[in-house]
């Protein structure tokens, strides 16, 4: 989309997760949500993935998919990129989905560092989205580390200071607002719709510019 946005003179921002940009694994959280909703199987047996997870979950109900998704996302936070990719492969195998069909067209991949550098050169705004696309609100030290590392890597791509932030998967908490303020974050946007009011914390505000999360 970048060439067309530039041609039309439309401002746009890419909130970029640096880990998946550099490593080129599918973004686990987003890919997981897709396979749980699109898989042919009606149930997912988490015991087959790890006995500690336990239980079967119905995938033909929103509540069942959400419950399975929450458990798997929490489990994957302890894994590195390759391990999370292998876990996704086990899940897709059980659900009758060919993982290669998602990998080769880069359906759930982010742009490469070279691609991000090129669109930044063309005038597309690059901003913060955590390093590993996670916001562990019960460990605020991790929140600080995620944003700091994301900023360090993306500022090399954007060649300037970055101060806008998008919550990964739209998940937010007032617990992180003091951290965002301390890190000099000017705006933090999520998927919730609503109005911003004078005096609202920066962590609760969406920017008034149209933004694309990635």
Joined together, the tokens standing for residue 63 give 């509540």
Joined together, the tokens standing for residue 86 give 């292998």
Q: DSSP readout, 61-97?
A: SHHHHHHHHHHHHHHHTTS-HHHHHHHHHHHHHHHT-
Average pLDDT of the chain is: 88
Judge contact between 181 and 201, C-beta under 8 A.
yes
Structure-model confidence comparison of residues 201 and 189, the more confident one? 189
Lowest mean pLDDT among 68-77, 96-105, 188-197: 188-197
Q: Tell me the pairing of strands 125-128 and 56-58.
A: unpaired
Judge contact between 202 and 180, C-beta under 8 A.
yes
Which tens digit of pLDDT belongs to each residue from 184-199? 999 998 887 777 777 7
Specify the pLDDT at position 88: 94
Q: Is residue 7 pLDDT above 60, yes or no?
A: yes
Which tens digit of pLDDT belongs to each residue from 104-161? 888 899 999 999 999 999 999 999 999 998 887 778 899 999 999 999 999 999 999 9
**Looking at the domain covering 2-23+110-213, what would its CATH class be?**
alpha beta
Specify the pLDDT at position 78: 85
Structure-model confidence comparison of residues 203 and 36, the more confident one? 36
Judge contact between 205 and 188, C-beta under 8 A.
yes
Specify the pLDDT at position 152: 97
In sequence order, which residues have a C-beta less than 8 Å from that of residue 149 and are 6 or more positions away? 18, 131
Separation CA 178–CA 149 (nearest Å) = 18
Domain ranges of the chain: 2-23+110-213, 28-103
Q: DSSP readout, 181-195?
A: HHTT--EEE-S----
Distances (CA, A) of 181 to 60, 84, 90, 100, 184: 41, 32, 40, 42, 5
Please give the model's pTM, rounded to 2 decimal places. 0.79
């Amino acid at each position: 989309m970048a060439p067309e946005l530039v041609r039309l003179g439309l401002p746009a921002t890419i909130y970029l997760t640096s880990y998946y940009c550099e490593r080129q694994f599918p973004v686990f959280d987003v890919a997981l949500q897709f396979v749980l909703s699109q898989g042919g199987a009606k149930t997912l047996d988490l015991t087959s993935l790890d006995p500690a997870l336990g239980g079967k979950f119905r995938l033909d109900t929103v509540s069942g998919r959400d419950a399975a998704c929450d458990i798997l996302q929490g489990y994957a936070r302890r894994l590195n990129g390759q391990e999370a990719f292998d876990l996704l492969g086990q899940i897709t195998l059980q659900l009758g989905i060919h993982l290669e069909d998602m990998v080769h067209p880069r359906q759930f991949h982010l742009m490469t560092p070279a691609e991000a550098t090129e669109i930044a050169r063309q005038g597309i705004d690059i901003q913060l989205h955590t390093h590993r696309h996670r916001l562990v609100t019960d460990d605020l030290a991790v929140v600080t580390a995620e944003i700091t590392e994301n900023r360090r890597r993306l500022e090399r791509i954007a060649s300037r200071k970055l101060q806008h932030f998008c919550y990964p998967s739209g998940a937010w908490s007032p617990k992180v607002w003091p951290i965002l303020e301390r890190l000099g974050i000017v705006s933090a946007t999520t998927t919730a719709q609503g109005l911003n009011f004078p005096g609202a914390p920066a962590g609760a505000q969406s920017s008034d510019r149209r933004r694309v999360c990635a």
